[in-house]
Chain A
Amino acid sequence: MMTLQGWLLIAAFVGILLALTKPVGLWLFALYEGRRTPLHTVFGPVERGFYRLAGIDPAQEQGWRRYAVHMLLFNLVLALFTYAVLRLQGWLPLNPMGFAGTSEHLAFNTAISFTTNTNWQSYAGESTLSNLSQMLGLAIHNFLSAATGIALAFALFRGFARRSATTIGSFWADMTRVTLYLLLPLCILYALFLIASGVPQTLAGSVDVTTLEGVKQVLALGPVASQEAIKMLGTNGGGFFNANSAHPFENPTALTNFVQMLSILVIGMGLTFTFGKAVGNTRQGWAILAAMLTIFLIGVTITYWQEAAGNPILHGIGATGGNMEGKEVRFGIAASALFSVVTTAASCGAVNAMHDSFTALGGMIPLFNIQLGEVVVGGVGAGIYGFLLFAILAVFVAGLMVGRTPEYVGKKIEAREVKLAVLAIAVLPLVILGMTAIASVTQAGLAGPLNKGPHGFTEILYAFTSAVGNNGSAFTGLTANTPFYNGLLGVAMWIGRFFIIVPMLAIAGGLAAKSHTPETAGSFPTTGPLWTGLLIGIVLVVGGLTFLPSLALGPVADHLAMIHGQTF
């Protein structure tokens, strides 16, 4: 049963986020413009020192090609760095549990996973990685992949905002400023709040407990809080522990859970305001946010309703109440359902409940959210630039209907933009469905699923959806730490990140070069309810339709089995 308490939680959540959108958006706008902030007094010397040592002139702007090449090479070096840290783990310090280096395929998968902001985890943190690997190998990506995402969004904003320009900003300046003046200071405060709430922050590896029943229990510990903060704020989602934000050491209270959910979406929502501000009309940003929130609330309603209704098969054998398999009592059903939709609306992928054990339709919404391209608020940066690709398609469709050259925020949208947008959007269905098909018919692929029947297929589909969508959450029943899955998912994550980014930067470069087209009486208005409705329609039809057959084979079939009491 859905409760008033549950809906109060959802209402408070959305209300607080809406109140934070403008202030966060303004702060991001200051960074977008390269303005001085109060935090420059503290971190300014660090910023200048970094530029000097790396030979970077922050004032020297880049055209889209150079921006892309610098961003790509930086990401490649970062991935190699982490690959080395993971492989050499056994010889490196801060390894209290004495873990050996990881296998080649796991290091390959994990390095790509964290570089691409996916944070898919084929391993269990507490039994695989040393404290150094977590801190140095992984947490740096949590900052830098998030900062890269925001930098890329800034580049696209400049494409729309500038007139007849040849450059779209400096990748290094954008990325460094976002890290130093937004992510790092916020994380310091956030991590302290988490520690005070019960999240460990120690260099010890574990502690031995003799339980009240006299049994030995070993609790894994580590520098959890520092990692947890950026894991949420950067929409990374890679947990210190296997159980992620369901683990009481990552997410000990209902309050930390609430703050974790807020911190997944707060920057992504702020960026919609930043966009409006950058193109000189904040209503443009609010129109986008309205479309995002509408899709978001539909998803929350369905998942909450299904989870609260519970599993009829278990009711039949005498267990009452909603679906508590794979959920924590301190969060309850409403906060678990909400978290699952939040984490997949954004490209976060942290979980506070096991999506694999959700009811069939309750678990379909997180899956569908990722398949839409995580444009419902979305990952930091990635969400808004993904959404703007849909906006380009939407004005194109509107242009076809009224027979005019489409325009968006003062820029003519022509064949080149539409082609590149379609190219970027097509990556998702092509790679997700293609790879799912391969895994569904090969022995190595079929060895993965834990569950039988349609639910087993959904586990495979979810894995590739999560990888290409750079989400990182999972139907964790799938045994993915194999050469087959580590390899294929690694490739999927790389494609899912950079094969969208490069066309997007090409659009940014092309738009920046165009002159301004003033709005006339004949322009299609890109604010207001008509536009918001069109955006929702385009996201659902273009983003979602291609996946319907796969959803019918997986969660829908699973749901029909569930209500008819069939088990596998």
Chain B
Amino acid sequence: MFTDLKSAVRPAIVMTLLFALLLGIAYPLALTGIGQALFPAQANGSLVRDGGVVGSTVIGQAFTSDRYFHSRPSAAGKGYDGLASSGSNLGATSQALVDRVKTDIARYKTATPDRPVPSDLVTASASGLDPHIGPEAAFYQVDRVARVRGMDPRQVRSLVAGSVDRPLLGFLGDARVNLFELNRRLDAIGAKQAR
């Protein structure tokens, strides 16, 4: 047993250091170099600039103004905190969950009464940074957004319809609407009309 242990000391220490250099330093740095060279946009977070950085196409933002299509509730920090990704972790029988959903439903009902609220609109995502809502949840908000912006609801509806991402190959991923992109298109139309 003791000779077994003694014979293990040098390989254990040396292999730890060598693999640390190869896997802990060389591998990630090499990939950083290649990634930055081949895919600079994605490697830096798929950022969108308009003057300064206004967002990332893959990360959700808090949209709470009635001028915008609202995003889902978020448990990341105080909401869509990019330094504190998190779900709510509330279980199916949690009173806190029921209270939160009730409050959100009541808010939507005052703006859009007599239609059931799609559940993704009143449930918190896993990351707290979900960039999407489902098409139903987007169409549900069309009337409100059109009213507040003074736009024709048909125009807003066709904007949403044009923003729906379909499942890849018909089965990969649910149909969804990227809110950052949809709301930017809304703003772009608003800016054009203002001119």
Contacts and interface: CB of A to CB of B under 8 A. Distances in A.
Given A50-B19, A77-B12, A568-B95, 10 more contacts: A202-B45, A204-B44, A211-B55, A242-B85, A253-B173, A254-B173, A257-B172, A320-B117, A332-B174, A351-B126
Contacts, number: 397
Interface in A514-568: 558, 561-562, 566-568
B86 A450 contact: no
B160 interface: no
Given A212-B68, A326-B87, A562 B35 contact: no
Contacts of A385: none
Interface in A419-444: none
A450 B129 CA distance: 21
24 contacts: A5-B171, A9-B172, A70-B7, A74-B8, A136-B25, A179-B19, A198-B46, A211-B62, A213-B61, A213-B63, A213-B65, A217-B80, A226-B31, A246-B85, A314-B98, A326-B123, A326-B125, A327-B126, A330-B131, A353-B126, A357-B126, A455-B91, A455-B93, A477-B91
Interface string B40-79: 0011111100001111111111111100100010001000
B129 A248 contact: yes
Interface in B116-144: 116-120, 122-134
A450 B28 contact: no
Contacts of B19: 50, 140, 143-144, 179
B191 interface: no
Contact of A354 (B126, B134, B173): B126
B123 A325 contact: yes
7 A-B pairs closest in CB distance = A254-B173, A332-B174, A246-B126, A477-B89, A136-B24, A354-B87, A243-B85
Interface string B79-112: 0111111111111111101100110010001000
B5 A73 contact: yes
Contacts of B125: 246, 326-329
B92 A358 contact: yes
Interface in A176-220: 176, 179, 184, 187-188, 191-192, 195-204, 206-213, 215, 217-220
A480 to B, nearest CB: 12
A325 B88 contact: yes
A354 B87 CA distance: 7
A200 B40 CA distance: 9
B16 to A, nearest CB: 5
Contact of B15 (A5, A74, A252, A356): A74
Given A65-B4, A211-B61, A351-B126, A243 B87 contact: yes
B20 A81 contact: yes
Given A210-B53, A328-B126, A562-B93, A335 B173 contact: yes
Contacts of B82: 206, 209, 217-220
A202 B126 contact: no
A510 B155 CA distance: 76
A561 B131 CA distance: 33
A331 interface: yes
Nearest to A453: B93
A61 B185 CA distance: 66
B194 interface: no
Contacts of A453: 93
B92 A562 contact: yes
A359 interface: yes
B92 to A, nearest CB: 5
Interface residues of A, number: 128
A109 interface: no
A246 B92 contact: no
Interface stretch (A52-60, A267-275, A402-410): A52-60
B167 A77 contact: no
B58 A196 contact: no
A401 interface: no
B119 A324 contact: yes
A26 B39 CA distance: 33
B31 A201 contact: yes
B145 to A, nearest CB: 13
B83 A243 contact: no
A249 B86 contact: no
Contacts of A494: none
B34 to A, nearest CB: 7
Nearest to B100: A325
B83 to A, nearest CB: 5
A169 interface: no
Nearest to A126: B83
B4 A69 contact: yes
A359 B118 CA distance: 18
A46 interface: yes
Contact of A212 (B55, B122, B171): B55
B36 interface: yes
Contact of A200 (B42, B54, B124): B42
Contacts of B132: 328-330
Contacts of B72: 329
Contact of A50 (B15, B35, B94, B180): B15
Interface in A458-475: 458, 475
A201 B171 contact: no
Contacts of A336: 126
Contacts of A366: none
A377 interface: no
A359 B16 contact: no
Contacts of A73: 5, 8-9, 12
B149 interface: no
A202 B39 CA distance: 11
Interface in A305-337: 310-311, 313-314, 317-333, 335-336
A213 B28 contact: no
Contacts of B180: 212
A324 B120 contact: yes
A243 B127 contact: yes
Contacts of B150: none
Nearest to B61: A211
Contact of B167 (A54, A201, A254): A254
Contact of B131 (A191, A248, A318): A248
A122 B7 CA distance: 35
B154 interface: no
B93 A317 contact: no
Given A218-B82, A252-B58, A200 B184 contact: no
B105 A451 contact: no
Contacts of A140: 19-20, 23-24
Contact of B18 (A53, A331, A351): A53
A124 B35 CA distance: 25
A413 interface: no
Contacts of B53: 207-210
